[in-house]
Amino acid sequence: MGVLQDKIALVTGGSRGIGRSVVLALAEQGCHVAFTYKSASAAADAVVKEVAAKGRKAMAIQSDAKSFQEAAGAVDKVVGEFKRLDVLVNNAGITKDTLLLRMSEQDWDEVIDTNLKSAFNFSKAACKQMMGQREGRIINMSSIAGVIGNAGQTNYAAAKAGMLGMTKTLAKELASRNIQVNAIAPGFVETDMTHKLTDQQKEALMAVVPMKRVAKPEEIASVVVFLASPASSYMTGQVLCVDGGLVM
């Protein structure tokens, strides 16, 4: 039996990268897992099969995390099928990096809406259900860019810092309802998002990581499991940097 046996989780952006690893790690611990994705249907189908192979139920929902209505619809689908929602992981995210002077209004809006507004959309829909249950966990996937900033990522760092403010505020609003809200701030993780970086950018990044390597998605997923599990029963409003020692 896993530490999350028969709990119901919803992960946004679960088709690839960190989100996929989170879906699989939660299933490994006994969760039935729903996840959203934007367009990678083949990847999403493969994740559903991987969850089923672990003997857990999976539900893939194609839904744009930027849309308030679609987020509410996704949460309704999950609750309609599983009758409750124990864990929400706000993970969906994108980058559109460039220096502020070159950043278009569209790139600002797209990144803020996908990374930050999405967390508002899903948290609002999920916390209604969790308040009724008098139990729940919300885990926000921020970034060290939101903690210390990063040149070329004004939009992304602002969204990720916004998530931290949201985490602490929601933690205060929801603590009395037995809903814990925490955030993870990963450093550099081996996914499609970081494959875009040039070798020169990667070298510069490694120079500032004391552990001198990038993280595997599983090393972020295991911290999500911790924050979803009874092992973190007295934690709320916290930000855990999982970054090989970069921020300390």
Q: Which residues bind ligand NAP (CB under 6 A)?
A: 12-19, 36-40, 43, 64-66, 91-94, 114-115, 141, 143, 186, 188-189, 191-194
Q: 113: number of CA atoms within 13 Å, CB side?
A: 12
Least Å distance between CB 2 and ligand NAP? 23
Whichever of 127 and 157 has its CB closer to ligand NAP, that residue is 157
Whichever of 108 and 131 has its CB closer to ligand NAP, that residue is 108
Q: CB under 8 Å to 145, separation ≥6 — which residues? A: 153, 156, 157, 160
Least Å distance between CB 134 and ligand NAP? 29
Whichever of 31 and 163 has its CB closer to ligand NAP, that residue is 163
**Torsion angles phi and psi, residue 104, rounded to 5:** -80, 160
Task: Report yes or no: 34 and 58 within 8 Å, Cβ to Cβ.
Answer: yes
The Cα 48–Cα 20 span in angstroms is: 10
Whichever of 19 and 136 has its CB closer to ligand NAP, that residue is 19
Q: Provide the annotated active-site residues.
A: 156
Least Å distance between CB 189 and ligand NAP? 4
Least Å distance between CB 4 and ligand NAP? 20
Among 221, 112, 124, smallest CA distance to 170 is for: 124
What is the sign of the dihedral through the CA atoms of 75, 79, 81 and 87?
A: positive
